[in-house]
Amino acid sequence: MIYLKKFNSWRFRTVASTCLNSSTPYQFSSFLGRPFSFSAQIEKESTSSDSVAKKPLGVFFQEAVGLLEKSENKELKVKSVKLMKSTPLSMEDHTVCKELSPDMALFVAHLYNEGYFKYSNFLSGKKFDITCFENSYARNYITYAAKQFGRDHQEIVKWLSGSDLKTIALFGCPSIAKQNVLSAKRLRKYFRIQEDNVCSKCALKASCKFVNQNVRKGDRTNLHLAAVLRVIILYALESVPPQLVIPDEIKASVRRLLMDILRLSQTVS
């Protein structure tokens, strides 16, 4: 142990003397037996520090809890986060819609008086205001309220005009959304209308996933008012894809059915 201490002391004095008396910098790699560079180490730490500093604190947290995968390219990840933050939120629920038709306004007022909008959050105060139904969120709520109304008044469906219902059934579907398609198909099934006869002429068939498909559930002896209302309300609100043009014949049938439903709901119990 004494010999080792003396050896290390002699080695240190040798290195110190060389550093002080030599005109060229001493290479510590010769002393350590391997390459050594303070500048490389500092540069590496600086680069790592800069890279860490560029990552937002939110990204650190999301990585820690497993919400985000760690990326090799930190700069790209930061840019992606900034891009997502700068992307505007969807304005779908704030889209202004055209004014309700007089017939539709009467039906909506009836739904309101019957309490089908009591849980809505877009009507101000206790007074009915038709202007509150001029955005897409309120229009979607109308379809929901109409469906509930149909379930509560199923008994009046047998008094509706069969010719108007069949005219609407032959026209097709009001949209390619699954529930809307199923309601239209149930209407066609009730009138024994072949799917291919309707789908072959439909303007939406290129983007529809249910072309020529039959409804699995249901029977041909019962027609549900909720399904009827789901279809005709979309036509009445004109909440259909732009490529689907609603003929005047369909609009006339929808108006008559709405007025019949409104009248029958007040007389048939």
DSSP string, 71-93: -S-HHHHHHHHHHHHHSPPP-GG
Residue 107 near residue 262, CB atoms below 8 Å:
yes
Backbone phi, then psi, for 266, in 5-degree steps?
A: -95, -10
CB atoms near residue 12 (< 10 Å): 11
Longest dimension (CA), the chain: 115
Residue 195 near residue 185, CB atoms below 8 Å:
yes
Q: How far apart are CA 119 and CA 215, in angstroms?
A: 32
Question: What does each C-alpha distance from 220 to 68, 166, 189, 230 come to in angstroms?
Answer: 51, 13, 6, 18
Q: How far apart are CA 97 and CA 142, in angstroms?
A: 13
Question: What does each C-alpha distance from 212 to 79, 123, 244 come to in angstroms?
Answer: 46, 41, 18
DSSP class of 215: P
Among the listed residues 231, 190, 189, the one whose alpha carbon sits nearest the alpha carbon of residue 214: 189
Question: What does each C-alpha distance from 147 to 112, 120, 154, 240 come to in angstroms?
Answer: 14, 15, 11, 17
pLDDT at 216: 77
Residue type, 27: Q
DSSP class of 217: S
pLDDT tens per residue across all 269 residues of the chain: 444 444 445 454 554 455 445 555 545 444 444 444 444 444 444 444 444 445 566 555 556 545 555 554 455 444 444 433 433 333 344 566 788 999 999 999 999 999 999 888 888 666 788 888 888 899 999 999 999 999 999 999 999 999 999 999 999 999 999 999 999 999 999 999 999 999 999 999 999 999 999 987 656 678 999 999 999 999 999 999 999 999 999 999 999 999 999 999 988 75
Burial level of 103, CB count in 10 A (0-12/13-18/19+)? middle
CB atoms near residue 111 (< 10 Å): 19
pLDDT at 120: 86
pLDDT at 52: 43
**Is the backbone of residue 71 left (phi > 0), alpha (psi -120 to 50) or beta?**
beta
Q: How far apart are CA 169 and CA 188, in angstroms?
A: 5
* pTM for the structure as a whole: 0.64
Alpha helix ranges (H) inside 55-190 = 57-64, 74-86, 102-113, 136-152, 162-171, 178-190
Helix (H, G, I), strand (E, B) or coil at 216: coil
pLDDT at 190: 94
pLDDT at 128: 84
